[in-house]
Amino acid sequence: MPLASELVQSCTSVFTLSELYSRVRDVVDNPNSSTDELANVLKLDPVLSARLLRTANSPQYGSQKQIDTVSCAVNLIGVQVVRDLIAATTVGQTFSGMPPQFMDAPKFWRKSLFCALVAEGVATSCGVENSERCFVEGLLRDIGHFVLYQTVPQRAQSALIEAGYLEASLAEVEQSNIGCDFAEVGAELMWSWGMPVHIEQAIRCQLSPKDAGEFALHASIVHLAGVVVDNEELEPNRRREVLPFHPSAISTTKFASDNLPSLLTEVYAKFQRTQALIYPQTMAA
């Protein structure tokens, strides 16, 4: 079975949602747009965010510290580079080599955005400073599936179906069927791109936050957000009343589960506003 690093090396492209690309392009092409407006749109997409952070952390820009927020990345590399980056990312509109039936791209984007908002909400409720970092980590939480669905799409889809049928952990089924899981693959992608270590470790250790060492807080927040999002994705009659949070994630973050209903209410409101930003005609219909 292939190693996660081997799958990443054989992955030729990742893609971004075409509607979001169009929205970003509109902001870039508007001479009255500010860098903050551009960053706020860019950070909504997991692939664009990952590519932007990768670029900002490359030796070409020689930053004295690692860039771990989209806002800092935009300010560092400038609008023209962002424009070129967006143009290069349009290859993803076809997602080379992967039949469209293997991945519902809009659904993936919605789930990634929802996870980002939950992670940011959890971080805020726990008093974590600079919650944009947690937004990015939540947004990239599931990016390993981009690699899996490009490199081993049949096995990745079979694992998803089997996990649902058996009501088993998707990561465990992926380990059995593929030899690695989405968290491991996503972390390898982040490592190969030279992303900030806290992002890589948050993704790698999201299933077992206690293994993240000094980055346990980051991994714990991504873990909590992932559990919440996976549960919300289920049909209402299949959702758990008591979520299977890892005890170490609760102890590390001091997150109060009683706050979850109000947090979700706020997240859903933000989620609707964000969808209205990206899909204004659909939301108005």
Q: Are 114 and 232 within 8 A, CB to CB?
A: yes
- The 3-class SS string of 40-53 reads HHHCCCHHHHHHHH
Q: What is the pLDDT of residue 99?
A: 52
Which pLDDT tens digit goes with each residue over 132-170? 788 889 988 998 988 888 888 889 889 988 888 887 889
Query: Which residue, 191, 188, 249, is CA-closest to 216?
Result: 249
Q: What is the pLDDT of residue 263?
A: 95
- Residue 269 sits at the vertex; the CA angle it makes with 209 and 31, to the nearest 5 degrees, is 95
- Residue 11 sits at the vertex; the CA angle it makes with 5 and 13, to the nearest 5 degrees, is 140
Tell me the mean pLDDT in the region 187-212: 90
pLDDT bin (cut points 50, 70, 90) of residue 282 is very low
Q: What is the pLDDT of residue 278?
A: 56
Map tokens 């693959």 to a residue: 185
Q: What is the pLDDT of residue 281?
A: 43
Q: What is the pLDDT of residue 248?
A: 95
Judge whether residue 109 has pLDDT over 60.
yes
- What is the rounded CA–CA span in Å between residue 190 and residue 234? 28
- What is the rounded CA–CA span in Å between residue 114 and residue 5? 27
Judge whether residue 56 has pLDDT over 80.
yes
Judge whether residue 124 has pLDDT over 80.
yes
Which pLDDT tens digit goes with each residue over 207-258? 999 999 999 999 999 999 999 999 998 888 888 888 999 999 999 999 998 9
- What is the rounded CA–CA span in Å between residue 209 and residue 18? 34
Mean pLDDT across the chain, nearest whole number? 82
- What is the rounded CA–CA span in Å between residue 28 and residue 32? 9
Out of 36-45, 185-194, 252-261, which region has the weakest mean confidence (pLDDT)?
36-45
pTM score of the predicted model:
0.75
Domains contained in the chain, CATH given: 9-93 (no CATH), 102-278 (1.10.3210.10)
- What is the rounded CA–CA span in Å between residue 285 and residue 271? 17
